[in-house]
Copies of this chain bind each other. A is one copy, B any other.
Amino acid sequence: MRDWIKPALGRFLDRLLLRSALGATERQAILDLPARAMRADVDHDFVHVGDKVTHACLVVDGLIARFAQISSGERSIVALHIPGEMADLHSVVAPNVTWALHAMTPSTIVQIPHAALRDLTVRFPAIAVAFWRDCVTDANVLAQWTVNLARKDATARVAHLLCEMLTRYSTMGLAQQQSYAFAITQTNLADALGLTQVHLNRTLKRIKEAGLAIKQPDRVIIHDLAGLAALAEFDPAYLQLVGDRAPS
């Protein structure tokens, strides 16, 4: 039943190791973290604004969004998290929830107690740095989204997100060639891109007609990555995949 807890922690460890070097003891300590599995229903918040949380959520399966609700009822997605990522590692140091967590598809997540994570940071300074660095990487993605929202038109914004998600699914080993399972509705995608659903639809159509990429209901297929990246001015440097993995 919960034999995927270990693999899930393994994938989280892999993600940390992409950017941080950890010794054998430290790696084992991550794998031995206590965890509890949980299902998150589609279109449901499972962490609410104002809550004070005591565990962090590791995405095992599905697609998780961090988002804000404006008074007008409009929503804005502030981050997307795919399997292997911690949706709210930051909550370890900031447990007062300011952005809800919401399942975009039926998802599986694993809850890891803050106490256990904190304990690791005290015992292993290298793990403290790895967690800190993971949050900094998330923040860098957010900074890039800010740039896209502030200064790029709808087409470039969509193209950029398609490139970013390909890169992220790829590095987690979850992409097939130039295609990845991305079961997000156009309405939700629009909320992540600061567009209306209608305009996103037209923009996707234009991207399809230009032969660059196709968004299917549950999948993205990229036909011309170079063209898409050029349109988006996509430079993956901000994802910090070429980190020097400094030893501490």
Contact = CB atoms under 8 A, between A and B. Distances in A.
Interface of A: 66, 68, 70-71, 74-76, 78-79, 90, 93-96, 98-99, 118, 121-122, 125, 128-129, 131-133, 135-140, 142-143, 145-147, 149-152, 191, 193-194, 233, 237-238, 240, 242-244, 246, 248
A204 to B, nearest CB: 18
Contact of A139 (B71, B138, B244): B138
Find the residue from A70, A99, A137, A150 having the highest chain B CB count within 10 A. Answer: A150
Nearest to A190: B150
B151 A93 contact: no
Given A118-B248, A237-B98, A93 B146 contact: no
A40 to B, nearest CB: 20
B146 A145 contact: yes
A94 B143 CA distance: 14
A99 to B, nearest CB: 6
